[in-house]
Amino acid sequence: MIVAVMHIQSALDPAGPQAGRIAHLFWIFTWVCVAVYIITLLFIAVAVIRGRRNAEPDVSDAREHSLKLGVTAASVLTVLILFALLVASVATGSAIGTFGQDDPRQLEVEVTGHQWWWEIHYPDALDPSASITDANEIHIPIHTKVLLRVQTADVVHSLWIPNLHGKRDLIPGRVNKIWIEADTPGIYRAQCAEFCGLQHAHMALVVFAQKPEDFAQWKSASSQGAVTPTTPSAMRGQQVFLGAPCGKCHNIVGVDAYGTIGPDLTHLASRRTIGAGTLINNRGNLAGWISNAPAIKPGVLMPPNAMSAGELQDLMAYLETLK
Amino acid sequence: MCRRLLFVALFAALACHREQRAIQPTAQESGRPLPVRVSGLQPGPKQLGASAIDNPYEGNAYAISQGQQLFEKYNCSGCHFHGGGGIGPPLMDAEWIYGSSPAQIYESIAQGRPNGMPSWGGHIPEYQIWQLVTYVRAVGGFEGKVATGSRVDEMQSKRAEEPKP
């Protein structure tokens, strides 16, 4: 379990060129520092052993000269090593900073941080009706440079997808940019990396790096409106949804629910988690979440919703159709 | 000496008051609001007396900041702007068409008012209406200075013309 988690959220397990550079730099620093540390300790050990053996210290001029030479050489070597590390660091920084610019194969995704969830928007300038709004999940095709435009709706957050890149802060009133690219298909977990309030720890995000054909399939499915319910239970559930206050905060494309405060629910059933990584998305968890979200995630804006068991079952049947 | 120190510690403990944050509202608190009656004067046969409903969040800084968020999110600012008024009446001046007590503001939000104020009762949870009431009263200058934020994002919410009642 822990090994699996480490694999999907680890800066030392890079899945793209950006994180690869950062991991590379990390290992250079680590091994150089380990080598310097071991060599320094060896010299100290030698000095201690020698000092014990020779009770009378050697104070001749020749000895003084050789010691001076040794200290100078060590100082020069230290400066050289530090300078080499500086060069490696600056080179990595500049490679990361210029990555993706002037590349035609681009995808732009807008990421908006909320207390405490992520709004993901895929704008489509040519066909606005094909733009997609999702929550807490980013789908990207592999081998494509993706520009994430990150902003916040309230306080400072920070987007950190360790397998793909370093952190980027979301600052109120600003749109920050971060370029990512994935080489291997997979699921990578991200986390808000700047304390943003009570449920900061429950503000996770999942990145799906997919083969281009899988991504195209996901995109065409997601740009459709919500599925019209067909079973009697789901149809009753839709009426429950529209009769309850849900639509004040949530949006479902194709029905009378236009809220923009909470996550878009048009394709709720296709998501892995609910509450920004708080719970696995299944019927029991979703019913519990709707019945009393603040008991699961105290401080969340989603209010408790009292309804009869029949209404809740119908609502679940409806929400499960929203693939 | 020891007794004196104990006395000072007890005295200091009196000042300790940690504000309750309503981060886990219950289903009961979010239920559909009961009709609030602010006056015993009603037409028809004798009905319920004036409801003695108190704002549970009076002077609560957390409720004020939550109310401020909701004021924006539910687009109250679309008509009332940030207290200055425009399409809807201002909330910063001393003139309250339907009253400035918490119960009266609650009723204005929950039941709506003629000439445009929609009814929010049943559409948003009851505790959120109370959070909005607390914020609106803070904008009007009725909430204590301790609870009201000193720095306002939009404009100063201090009434100039009249001191607090």
H helix intervals, chain B: 2-15, 27-30, 61-73, 77-80, 102-111, 126-139
B132 found inside a domain = yes
Query: Chain centroid to CA A46: how far?
Result: 48
Q: Strand, helix or coil at A12?
A: coil
Counting one residue from A and one from B, how many pairs have CB atoms under 8 Å apart? 42
Closest-approach residue (CA) in chain B for A114:
B69
Q: Tell me, what's the pLDDT at B146?
A: 78
What value does the mean pLDDT of chain A take?
91
Please give the structure tokens belonging to residue B1: 């000496």
Q: Which two tokens stand for residue A42?
A: 């060896």
Would you give the distance in Å from CA B29 to the centre of its chain?
15
Residue A5: the pLDDT is: 54
Distance from the B23 Cα atom to the nearest Cα atom in chain A, whole angstroms: 4
Residue at token pair 């505790």: B127
The hierarchical CATH code for the domain A232-321 is: 2.60.40.420
pLDDT digits (tens, 9 = 90+) for A126-177: 888 889 999 999 999 999 999 999 999 989 999 999 999 999 999 999 999 9
Residue B103's domain comprises 59-150
Q: For residue B19, what pLDDT is reported?
A: 79
Q: Is the confidence at residue B21, as pLDDT, over 80? A: yes
Cα A215 to Cα A152: distance, rounded to the nearest angstrom: 26
Find chain A residues with C-beta within 8 A of B24's C-beta: 294-295, 298
What pLDDT, on the 0 to 100 scale, is given for residue B149? 73
Categorize the per-residue pLDDT at B155 as very low, low, confident or very high, splitting at 50, 70 and 90: low
Considering only CB atoms, which chain B residues are within 8 Å of A246? none
pLDDT above 70 as % of chain A: 97
Burial class (CB in 10 A: 0-12, 13-18, 19+), A290: buried
Segment A24-72, tens digit of pLDDT: 999 999 999 999 999 999 999 998 998 888 767 777 888 889 889 989 9
Output the pLDDT for position A155. 92
Most confident of the following: A194-208, B7-21, B97-111: A194-208
Domains of chain A, by residue range, sit at 1-223, 232-321
Q: Which of A109-113, A164-168, A232-236, B95-99 has the lowest mean pLDDT?
A: B95-99
Asked whether residue B123 is domain-assigned, the answer is yes
Report CA-CA distances (Å) from A2 to A6, A8, A10, A164: 6, 10, 11, 20
pLDDT of residue B165: 44
In the predicted model, what is the mean pLDDT of residues A116-129?
Answer: 90
Question: Which chain A positions have a beta carbon within 8 Å of B20's beta carbon?
Answer: none
Between the alpha carbon of residue B84 and those of residues B71, B94, B99, B111, B114, the distances in Å are: 13, 12, 17, 22, 20
Contact B69 A154 (CB under 8 A): yes
End-to-end CA distance of chain A: give it in Å, rounded. 28
Answer whether residue B80 is part of any domain: yes
pLDDT on residue B35: 59
Burial of A134 (0-12, 13-18, 19+ CB in 10 A): buried
Q: What is the pLDDT of residue B42?
A: 63
- Taking the C-alpha atoms of residue A283 and residue A317, their distance in angstroms, rounded to an integer, is 9
Query: Residue B146 carries which side chain, given as an amino acid letter?
Result: V
Please check the confidence at residue A273 and state whether its pLDDT lies above 60.
yes
Looking at the predicted structure, is the pLDDT value of residue B117 above 80? yes
Q: Is the pLDDT of residue B159 over 70?
A: no
Q: Which amino acid is at A223?
A: S
Reported as a single tens digit per residue, the pLDDT across A289-311 is 999 999 999 999 999 988 899 99
Contacts B127 to A, Cβ<8 Å: 303
pLDDT digits (tens, 9 = 90+) for A246-258: 988 999 998 888 8
Average pLDDT over residues B39-57: 64
CA dist A99 and A144 (Å) reads: 12
Q: Which residues in chain B have their CB less than 8 angstroms from residue A301's CB?
A: 69
Reply yes or no on whether the pLDDT at B83 is more than 90: no
Tell whether A243 is within 8 A of chain B (Cβ): no
Segment B132-144 mean pLDDT:
88
Select from A198, A261, A304 the Cβ nearest to the Cβ of B27: A304
What CATH superfamily classification does A1-223 receive?
Answer: Cupredoxins -  blue copper proteins (2.60.40.420)
| Band of residue A1 on the pLDDT scale cut at 50, 70, 90 | very low
Place of tokens 């609560």: B60
Q: Other CB atoms closer than 10 Å to residue A72's CB: what's the count?
A: 10
CB contact under 8 A, B30 and A295: no
Residue pair A191/A205 in contact by the 8 Å Cβ criterion: yes
* A172 Cβ under 8 Å from any chain B Cβ: no
pLDDT of res. B39: 63
Cα dist. A53→A48, A49, A56, A57, A58 in Å?
9, 6, 9, 10, 12
Identity of the residue numbered B156:
Q
Q: Answer whether A233 touches B (CB < 8 Å).
A: no
Assess contact for A253 and A278: CB atoms under 8 A. no
User: Distance from B128 to chain A by nearest Cα, in Å?
Assistant: 9
Q: How far, in Å, CA of A41 to CA of A33, rounded?
A: 12
- Does residue B24 belong to any structural domain of this protein? no
Q: Are B124 and A245 in contact (CB under 8 A)?
A: yes
CB A150 within 8 A of CB A178: yes
Q: How many helices (H) and strands (E) does chain A have?
A: 7, 14
Mean pLDDT of A172-198: 93
For the ranges A31-35, B60-64, B91-95, the lowest mean pLDDT is seen at B91-95
Q: A213-227, A245-259, B52-66: which has the minimum mean pLDDT? A: B52-66
Residue B124 lies in a domain: yes
Distance from the Cα of residue A175 to its chain's centroid: 17
Alpha helices in chain A (DSSP H): 2-8, 17-53, 61-98, 212-222, 232-243, 283-296, 309-321
**Is the preceding omega at residue B96 within 30 degrees of 0, hence cis?**
no
Sign of the C-alpha dihedral computed for residues B137, B141, B146 and B150 taken in this order: positive
Q: Which residues of A touch B123 (CB under 8 A)?
A: 245, 248
Q: Is a pLDDT exceeding 90 seen at residue A318?
A: yes
CATH number of the domain that residue B101 is part of? 1.10.760.10
What residues 27-46 of chain A have any CB closer than 8 A to a CB of chain B?
none
* Alpha-carbon span A118 to A98, nearest angstrom: 26
Count the domains in chain B. 1
Q: What is the pLDDT of residue B144?
A: 79
Query: Which chain B residue's Cα is nearest to A198?
Result: B23
* pLDDT for res A234: 94
Say what the pLDDT of residue B156 is: 57
* CA of B121 vs chain A CAs: smallest distance (Å): 10
What is the per-residue pLDDT for B38?
Answer: 60
Whole-number pLDDT of residue B92: 85
Nearest CA in chain A to B65: A154
Chain B residue numbers touching A304 (CB-CB < 8 A): 25-27, 29-30, 125
The continuous run of DSSP H or E covering A157 comes out as strand A157-160
Residues of A in contact with B29 (CB under 8 A): 304
Residues 97-126 of A with CB under 8 A from B: none
- Which of B23, B69, B122 lies closest to A294 in CB terms? B23
Residue B49 pLDDT level (bands cut at 50, 70, 90): low
Give residue B164's pLDDT band: very low, low, confident or very high (50, 70, 90).
very low
Residues whose CB is less than 8 angstroms from the CB of residue A183 and which lie 6 or more positions away in sequence, other chains included: A15, A16, A17, A20, A142, A143
Distance from CA of A261 to the nearest CA of B (A): 6
Is A179 within 8 Å of A278 (Cβ atoms)?
no
